[in-house]
Structure 1
Amino acid sequence: MTIRTTHVGSLPRTQDVVDFIFARERGEAYDPDAFDAAMTGATAETVRRQVEAGIDIVSDGETSKISYATYVKDRYTGFAGDSPRNSPADLKMFPSFLERLKNDGGTPTYARPMCVGEVRSKGQGELEKDIANLKAGMEAQGVERGFMNAASPGVISLFLQNDFYPNREAYLAALADAMRDEYRTIVAAGLELQLDCPDLALSRHMLFTDLSDEEFVKVAGMHIEALNHALEGIDPARVRVHICWGNYEGPHVCDIDMDKVFSTLMGAHCRYVLFETSNPRHAHEWTVFRDRKAEIPDDKVLVPGVVDTTTNFVEHPELVAERIARFAGIVGAERVVAGSDCGFGTFAGFGAVDPEIAYAKLGALAEGARIASGRV
């Protein structure tokens, strides 16, 4: 039995790519043809390096995107101005650390406009370029499986807040309708679709701090309903969903327990579930999957994060193999894919992990998967 490897999606971008992205972000003049050429070349190299590291199911590294959620402001109408900036509650509890992060450039800066009008697609042209770049890179490396990230309705509502629709339900419904074509375009291209859903966990201590855990779980359920609506007609076998508590090094003492959002997560219309299980705040939660095994649908494939994405420690392959084996023991090796806790380049030009170390960690992930494959 060979245990496959993947990761959450974003990878470090080269400086020329970052320069192009921020020139566009700031509204500065740039050569569109040179921009496209840079994205094509960088995506090809990103795919090559994933294959070199031993990753089986690759992505484009989200090369052309400013971030995994706010890219939608460039591809959809209805966004302008700026949204309130809410620091996670755990960082507010340690103001000296939060100030140090700001002073050290440890918090990314990028536009987060409000929703001030009807959300409608501007067309799938930018997405089609990303798809073409990824598929060309895959073909050059002989890779069969690739995935592309897309923002979920819930995470868009987290970062690009509503100032147009009458309530959250209406905003989520509008986002679900608007994002549907993007999701279908990715799947129709022969790629797997990954929905990034930190709204199911991160937003608890970032936007909904005034709610109880039980009240928040109801909100998260509303987000899953909107996502499932957008996914209607798409084969769940082609869909991955990633839950996250925030891809930053910090205390994370306000993170809601996996046990409390477990049922909500399992209700997503997807085959692959990606989640954190390596960082010091969530590594113990593999036991939730063990203890609630009966509640894991038979068609679900677990993709635990077996390397952390906020530290420059490179995990020993034996530790990675141990982490993989835990989940293989719960649902069987055929229903486990080894992944990462989160992305390594969630925001363009920003990442806690050195780019070369990021690929070394992917290499450790792959080596750990090979060790585990020989044991399960």
Structure 2
Amino acid sequence: MRRSQDRILTSHAGSLPRTERLVAANAARAAGEDVADWEQLLATEVADLVARQQEAGVDLVGDGEYGKSMTSPMDFGSWWSYIFQRTQGLSLDEGGAWVTDRHLSTPGDVRLTGFGLRRDQQAFREAYTDPTSGIFVGAPPVFPKVTGPLRYTGQEAIAADIANLRAATVDAGTADAFMTSLAPGSASRIANEHYADDSSLLEAWADVLREEYVAIIDAGLILQIDDPSIAENFDQIEPEPAIEDYLAFSRLRVEALNHALRGLPSDRIRYHLCWGSWHGPHTTDLGLRDIIGTVLQINADAITFEAANVRHEHEYRVWDDVELPEGKVLLPGVVSHATNVVEHPELVAERIVRLATRVGRENVVASTDCGLGGRVHSQIAWAKLRSLSDGAALASAELWR
């Protein structure tokens, strides 16, 4: 994994806006229609996307999660829901359950509430239930539930994703490419009617997802683990748990992830931490300071995290007190998915510099808070990536003068 040796490199958190023809093709396939030349269409779209990332100044490119179906331009969930299409042992849960009752591994039972019942949504119920608010939450979708032994069935899908990205990087003349895959802790946030306990369920998901991890690494790509659950679960526990209880709860998920990553090279793995990408107040978010020690136990040398949205931008100061372990790299979000305002390059540079002066310029790669695809309009997303690149150039001029 490249480091910022002579300038600040740039990347992003994974999802990028889908084109109109890709959204239309995904919608047709979801409706059961045959899409002529689907494989060629997807390959072409990924190749065009990689070239466009390079034009925008992105150094460490990805496939935009194009192989993870998105049937509308605005879609907050494809990063997560894709795995259910690649896993055996699931059935639709007509009750729409998001998670089931669970217990912390230390005293103090808690219940993870249903999707749409976050504590943030309870605190701002009027805003969340107002269709004119911009953060309206309608009827919850139908989620799957675990009803049998979990087994990975996505070999052909991941092979196609890998082939498309590899071909695109060859055409573009770059080897610096990454691909995302879900973490066991995030995958497990659905109802479970088969496994005896939380640990067994997490272990099963770890075994399922390891197949994707190995395939991505073996293909010579960088693996990015998408895992909002470590931070986001905190907002879905009612009542609010004590921090020490929540960390014990989270360590089970870190252990499951590390089990899935066993034997894989940590210098080719990046871990994406975020607080969920929904556009809400986020007043009940857990602080970075509370969980960074747990996150640093993950067997990944790079950490991508939200550092630009206004609920977490101040947390760069965490690195005044937390020492970045040897070999670790930070990919802070310096442009955000949470606003349509395009960040000025000088602000982007400021965000980069204040973190680089704390952890070392070679240990910072400028990135996005979260995936831009499905969160902001395509035109805005690409303007943000251009501002990201321009800001990194300004920061480089200051840091290497």
- Normalized against structure 2, the TM-score is what? 0.87
The residue aligned with 1:309 is: 337
Relative distance call for 1:310 and 1:30 in structure 2 (3 A) is: same
Residue by residue over 1:5-31, the C-alpha shift from the partner in whole angstroms, topping out at 9 and shown as x without a partner, is 000000111223223333444xx3222
Relative distance call for 1:102 and 1:227 in structure 2 (3 A) is: farther
Match of 1:81 among 88, 92, 96: 92
| More strand, by proportion | 2
RMSD: 1.9
Relative distance call for 1:153 and 1:324 in structure 2 (3 A) is: same
Segments of structure 1 that go 5 or more residues without pairing to the other structure are none
Matches for 1:144-159 after TM superposition, within 5 Å: 144-158=175-189
* Separation (CA, whole Å) in 1 of partners of 2:354 and 2:243: 28
The residue aligned with 2:392 is: 369
The residue aligned with 2:61 is: 58
* Separation (CA, whole Å) in 2 of partners of 1:181 and 1:46: 26
- Paired residues of 1:274 and 1:339 also in contact (CA < 8 A): yes
* Separation (CA, whole Å) in 1 of partners of 2:92 and 2:225: 26
- Paired residues of 2:129 and 2:137 also in contact (CA < 8 A): no
Match of 1:322 among 347, 350, 357: 350
Shift of residue 365, structure 1, vs aligned partner = 0.5
The residue aligned with 1:72 is: 83
Larger mean CA deviation between 204-213 and 175-184 belongs to 204-213
Larger mean CA deviation between 311-320 and 79-88 belongs to 79-88
Percent identity of the aligned residues? 39
Match of 1:121 among 152, 157, 160: 152
Local SS of the residue matching 1:70: helix
* Separation (CA, whole Å) in 1 of partners of 2:260 and 2:185: 11
The residue aligned with 1:229 is: 259
Tell me how many residue pairs correspond in the alignment: 366
The residue aligned with 2:9 is: 4
AA partner of residue 226 (structure 2)? D
Residue by residue over 1:76-108, the C-alpha shift from the partner in whole angstroms, topping out at 9 and shown as x without a partner, is 101111241412321222122212359868659
Residue by residue over 1:281-332, the C-alpha shift from the partner in whole angstroms, topping out at 9 and shown as x without a partner, is 0000001122212xx2111101110001121111111111111111211121
Relative distance call for 1:232 and 1:50 in structure 2 (3 A) is: same
The residue aligned with 1:21 is: 26
* Separation (CA, whole Å) in 2 of partners of 1:241 and 1:111: 28
Question: Given the alignment of the two structures, is residue 45 of structure 1 paired with residue 48 of structure 2, yes or no?
Answer: yes
- Paired residues of 1:21 and 1:65 also in contact (CA < 8 A): no
AA partner of residue 65 (structure 2)? E
Residue by residue over 1:204-236, the C-alpha shift from the partner in whole angstroms, topping out at 9 and shown as x without a partner, is 112565533321111111101100000001000
Residue by residue over 1:136-181, the C-alpha shift from the partner in whole angstroms, topping out at 9 and shown as x without a partner, is 22122222200000000001012x3322111111100111111111
- Normalized against structure 1, the TM-score is what? 0.93
Larger mean CA deviation between 162-171 and 109-118 belongs to 109-118
| More helix, by proportion | 1
